[in-house]
Structure 1
Amino acid sequence: MQEERLLSAYGVLAVIFCLAIIAGLVIAVDPADVAAAFENVTVAPLAAALAIVQLQVILSALRWRFTSARLGHAIPVRLAIGEYYIASFVNQVLPGGMAGDAVRAYRARTEDGWKRPAAAIVLERLSGQFAFFLVAGAGLFAWPLLLAESLPPGFYRLVFICTGFLALAAGLGLVIARSRLFARFETLKPDLAAVFWRRGAAGIQFGLSMLTVVSYIAVFMIAADATGAPLPPVAAVTVIPLCLMTMLIPAGVGGWGTREAAAAALWPLFGLTSAEGLSASLLYGLISLFGVAPQGLVLLAATLRRRRDHDGR
């Protein structure tokens, strides 16, 4: 009971946190400018962006299905896509951004338990995050070449810090590899090899994950264009990945608030206003939510109805 109360309190605080940030940003940049940006939105870009969201879910589901199959747990394509819709919706509306994955692991459990399904989900998400950080990192180091005249304050300090973290991570990796601690992870080697290396796994994982990342960036680019402030192509590998990276912060709900703050801060680098960045990010969030909400709600309701009917027998 105490844990449930703590979780409920955390959820309420997370929602308040997101709403407070968004409200503060809207007031800071002028509500009239945000409203004017949304007046530019038409049906065509919305339809295109919503279609891309469906592609995101399908690609992610196929990546999960492939990863799970390599671990010996076969999942039908239709089931994988349906479960990914449910998980994506839950991740959008509950704090932390991981509740949907927990639901997916629980629902994918087998007679042998949930550990193997959970491992498949962790490794599948790891594949996606690796591709995302690869794009974000490449853009960060390419920024001086692509946007030499509009570098943010302290940019080189940021690059130096990131380089230091990478060097530290590499050093720790070498230490762990040479220590006894690494022996405890020996059992993971076959799974990692099967999922990421053997029988062409690297190409499949990289291809599915990169296509998924590109689809996320495309939706953001469309949202910016729809609100009347199109971004240059270079933004796809610079500011947009940085905005999306803030969604990984587990303090909020679905990335709301932190993503908008980043967009409001970064859009002026391209001669646009903070209001235009905020509006694009808000529209991106709405597209992402409504792109999975109908399917997720319908599938979740159908599952609950089947369970109720089964328990009633």
Structure 2
Amino acid sequence: MPASVFRGGLSIGLRWVLTLLLLATTATFLDISAIGAELGDFPVPMLLAAMAISVLQVLVSAWRWRYTAGRLAINLSFAGAVREYYLATFLNQVLPGGVLGDVNRAWRHGLDSGSRLGAVHAVMIERLSGQLVMISVALGLGTWLAFYQGRIIGMLSDLGGLAVAVAAVVMIMLGLAARFWARGRGYVHALRRDIRKSLLSWPAILVQVSSSAVVVATYLGVFAVLATGAGHWAGPSEALTVMALCSLLLLAMAVPVSVAGWGVREGVAALLWPLVGLPPEQGVALSVGYGLAVLVSSLPGVLFFLNGRRTGC
């Protein structure tokens, strides 16, 4: 067995182990029966609505990818984009890291389009568009939450360790970027050019922000439907509080250390909900419900995986 294959298999195995450990550790500190009761409060119609919202999420995301590719003069049909996005979503749900599906999507599109670098940039940029909007929404809602709850200092103290960890990751990434810049200025120039063409120029920036805002709304919409079905809020302030917490969960899922954010998402929920006086079991149940809804809605990707067809540019 080649060493690279062995290392890849070991890395995947370790990510699965870490995911299970995170889930088990979170469960140790919580009332499992209470989580089960919370999950039982999700009505079936609301679960179906949550899955329907996830379908809309894939359709809009696929359109955004197609638009980005078009700005880079790479052909991609909408049907092909939807098919590949479903496949990528499914792979991201079952493979560690949450990005391998997107890597596969870029690779397959590159084979079909004949522009491998452009295909990679199209995927990177459309995901970047979504992450920038998601970060903006989470920061906005998180800031409101801190002021509304009147626990700014306490929340900063409780989340101090997380802030230090994030700062360390950012410093490492900046260091790697500096080395990459020194060794690959030609590629960096090409990436900057493509970002400018497909994200920062007019009207691309308006299209990207608008479509990404819809995608982020579908993320939060899944949480909102589940929370509504379980009766987790009685008014606008309660609804906004839960949505602010859920936006922070979405940011936590971006940390690529587990399978589809499982374990990380539930652990962060168990920490965040008590900060605003809500039971941690409520947050964990919402997190589990979200994960299951997205996983089930991604199952059409299995058909495209078995079919083996590519983007059909």
Q: C-alpha distance in 2, partners of 1:49/1:157?
A: 30
Amino acid at match of 2:5: E
- Computing the radius of gyration from Cα coordinates, the structure with the larger value is 1
Q: C-alpha distance in 2, partners of 1:152/1:217?
A: 26
Counterpart contact for 1:224–1:277, Cα < 8 Å:
no
The RMSD of aligned alpha carbons is 2.9
Q: Are residues 127 and 91 of structure 1, via their aligned partners in 2, closer, same or farther at CA, if it must alter by over 3 Å?
A: same
Residue-by-residue CA offset, 1:84-116 (whole Å, 9 max, x unaligned): 000011011101111101110111024634211
Counterpart contact for 1:37–1:228, Cα < 8 Å:
no
Q: Deviation of residue 261 (structure 1)?
A: 0.6
Counterpart contact for 1:150–1:270, Cα < 8 Å:
no
Amino acid at match of 1:265: L
Q: Would you say 1:282 and 2:282 are equivalent positions?
A: no
Aligned to 1:82: 83
Q: C-alpha distance in 2, partners of 1:8/1:157?
A: 33
| Runs of at least 5 residues in structure 1 that lack an aligned partner in the other structure | 307-313
Aligned to 1:12: 13
Aligned to 2:68: 67
Of stretches 149-158 and 94-103 in structure 1, the one that deviates more from structure 2 is 149-158
Q: Deviation of residue 149 (structure 1)?
A: 5.1
Q: Deviation of residue 147 (structure 1)?
A: 2.2
Matches within 5 A, 1:179-218: 184=186, 185-218=188-221
Q: C-alpha distance in 2, partners of 1:236/1:202?
A: 29
Q: C-alpha distance in 2, partners of 1:270/1:55?
A: 31
Q: Are residues 37 and 201 of structure 1, via their aligned partners in 2, closer, same or farther at CA, if it must alter by over 3 Å?
A: same
Aligned to 1:266: 272
Residue-by-residue CA offset, 1:224-264 (whole Å, 9 max, x unaligned): 34445348222355211211111111111100001001111
Of stretches 14-23 and 103-112 in structure 1, the one that deviates more from structure 2 is 103-112
Q: Which runs of 4+ in 1 moved over 6 A?
A: 179-183
Counterpart contact for 2:22–2:263, Cα < 8 Å:
yes
Residue-by-residue CA offset, 1:90-144 (whole Å, 9 max, x unaligned): 0111011111011101110246342110111011111111111111122233333
Q: Would you say 1:140 and 2:142 are equivalent positions?
A: yes
Q: Deviation of residue 153 (structure 1)?
A: 3.6
Q: Are residues 11 and 190 of structure 1, via their aligned partners in 2, closer, same or farther at CA, if it must alter by over 3 Å?
A: closer
Normalised to the residue count of structure 1, the TM-score between the two structures is 0.84
Q: Are residues 288 and 44 of structure 1, via their aligned partners in 2, closer, same or farther at CA, if it must alter by over 3 Å?
A: same
Amino acid at match of 1:244: L
Q: Deviation of residue 157 (structure 1)?
A: 8.0
Of stretches 33-42 and 110-119 in structure 1, the one that deviates more from structure 2 is 110-119
Counterpart contact for 2:75–2:113, Cα < 8 Å:
no
Tell me which of the two structures has the higher relative contact order, counting C-alpha pairs closer than 8 angstroms and 6 or more residues apart: 2
Identity %: 30
Q: C-alpha distance in 1, partners of 2:51/2:182?
A: 49
Counterpart contact for 1:227–1:280, Cα < 8 Å:
no
Matches within 5 A, 1:1-313: 1-109=2-110, 110=112, 112-148=114-150, 152-154=154-156, 184=186, 185-227=188-230, 229-230=232-233, 232-235=238-241, 238-293=244-299, 295-303=300-308
Amino acid at match of 2:281: A
Q: C-alpha distance in 1, partners of 2:34/2:159?
A: 33
